[in-house]
Structure 1
Amino acid sequence: MRAANLLLAAALFSSAGIAVAAPAADTILPSSITFATSTGYWEEAKGEIAIERAPGAAQPAAISAEPRHGYYKIFAVRQPDRTSKVYLQQIAQADEGPEVVSTLELHEFTDIKPYVTDIRPENSTGIIKQPGLFATVYLKTDPDAEPDGWTVMIDEFGEITVEKASN
């Protein structure tokens, strides 16, 4: 009886155009991504929205877009030599789902060829009251050393600062 119910459910889902099979685990997130966190937020002001012109039009097209907003993602990608590159993404909250606005390699980390051991947000509550980002990247430049903390900050104007954490 249970097998018949499962077959019926599968037939209903497939006839409705709903995929039954889940994606393979290795296609969801590459194994080279070792640490990632999403934190902070950003928003555009009305004046920051680019005015788009229709091809051949002399007048600007009407601005129908609302200011965008979203969050940041910071992640480490392991390289073949076991060191990592660290990237920062700006993600927009769109009606269709999250959309990558930009991806930036943080060369401050690439230049020192770190072994990244962790990435943590300022807080894990998910509630950020100020625009910007604050995250700590823990890394080693020698695999046998203790990790150091490095802060990645984005202020309310979008300026990025990467520096060794001071306690």
Structure 2
Amino acid sequence: MNKLETALKDIKADCLLNHADAQKQWDVFCEQYVTLFEKVRLNKPDSDTTHHLLGILTKAHIEAQTLIQHHQESLGKMEQVFKDTLGEEHASRFENQSQKQLIFVTHLWLYIQGYLYMDFSLANDHAEQTAKILSPMSAQQPEALRSEFLGSFYQGIDNSPIEKTTHPILGWLKSLFKS
């Protein structure tokens, strides 16, 4: 197990590994970004590991999304050729690894955002944008994809050791209504 994988497991991000395909994408991600992670840790040893993870996942998400956007038209044409040549049943056996990686990285990226208690509206915007990009290539509606992505954001919140603080006045008001 490399240091990137260890850091991800330390924040319980492995809870996203709920099926075999996720494990494959996890392995690809960790292999691809371990060198960058170690380099960042050496360059900024005083920064929190979760912030390093956030930076790397932001980079990974941008790269995966850009790859899909730049090749979306050719991917669609290739998929159509498979369907026309092999038929619907056999064409469905071919998997778009770029799409799968973007889906996985988005889940992981939103997880870390939730784990760090980052702004929900920003996470929601990113989830929606990614869902709109992926929807034409999948059988799912953008809203369903967005909801799935946000599930990872909430898992991050659930696994976070950070205690959500409330404004003292809000706490005082709540205490008045409890009695």
Q: Is the shorter-chain TM-score for this pair beyond 0.5, marking a shared fold? A: no
Which one has the bigger strand percentage?
1
Greater helix fraction, Structure 1 or Structure 2? 2
Q: TM-score, normalised by structure 1?
A: 0.23
Q: Please report the TM-score for the alignment, with normalisation by the length of structure 2.
A: 0.22
Greater C-alpha Rg: 1
Structure with larger RCO (C-alpha < 8 A, sep 6+): 2
